[in-house]
């Protein structure tokens, strides 16, 4: 009988300790519902450095991935980096853009550093590529 009580106490202690540890590891329903849902894929905007396409000029590409099915008005611009206001060499605007890449093609504005800029019109979202020497 004495062995039985001791075994029962040990088993009870293990169960109580396991339950307490599990309570610490598993968040409560209230805590879980208070956290925002985690997106399986983040929305990413990108701008690739401009290039010189066959035949001359300048070309810059940019876009977005992982943004679901929401559409935006995406603008891709290639600018020449100069003191003051930069000189626009190419521009393309795509309304109803969801995902992928948009390319803007234009004319060289003289030898210098150029970059591609991607903007979401109506928002503050804007990304720029690295500068590259072209033309």
- Distance, in Å, from the CA atom of 40 to the CA atom of 98, rounded to the nearest integer, reads 17
**The tokens 């925002």 sit on which residue?**
36
Question: What is the per-residue pLDDT for 55?
Answer: 87
Q: What is the DSSP string of 55-68?
A: TSSEEEEEEEES-T
Whether residue 110 contacts residue 135, with contact meaning beta carbons closer than 8 Å, is answered with yes
- Distance, in Å, from the CA atom of 117 to the CA atom of 93, rounded to the nearest integer, reads 12
Instruction: At 72, give phi and psi (nearest 5°).
Output: -140, 170
Instruction: At 81, give phi and psi (nearest 5°).
Output: -80, 110
**Each residue's pLDDT expressed in tens, for the chain with a length of 135 residues:** 444 444 444 434 444 444 444 343 344 444 444 444 444 568 999 999 999 998 889 999 999 999 999 999 999 999 999 999 999 999 999 999 999 999 999 999 999 999 999 999 999 999 999 999 999
Instruction: At 19, give phi and psi (nearest 5°).
Output: -65, -40
């Amino acid at each position: 009988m004495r062995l039985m009580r001791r075994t029962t106490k040990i088993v009870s202690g293990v169960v109580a300790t396991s339950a307490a540890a599990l309570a610490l590891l598993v968040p409560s329903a209230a805590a879980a519902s208070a956290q925002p849902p985690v997106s399986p894929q983040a929305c990413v905007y990108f701008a690739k450095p401009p290039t010189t396409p066959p035949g001359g000029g300048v070309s810059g590409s940019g876009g977005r991935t992982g943004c679901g099915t929401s559409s935006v008005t995406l603008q891709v611009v290639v600018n020449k980096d100069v003191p003051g206001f930069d000189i626009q060499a190419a521009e393309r605007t795509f309304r109803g853009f969801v995902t992928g890449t948009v390319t803007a093609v234009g004319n060289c504005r003289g030898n210098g550093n150029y970059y591609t800029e991607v903007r979401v019109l109506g928002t503050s979202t804007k990304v720029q590529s690295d500068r590259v020497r072209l033309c």
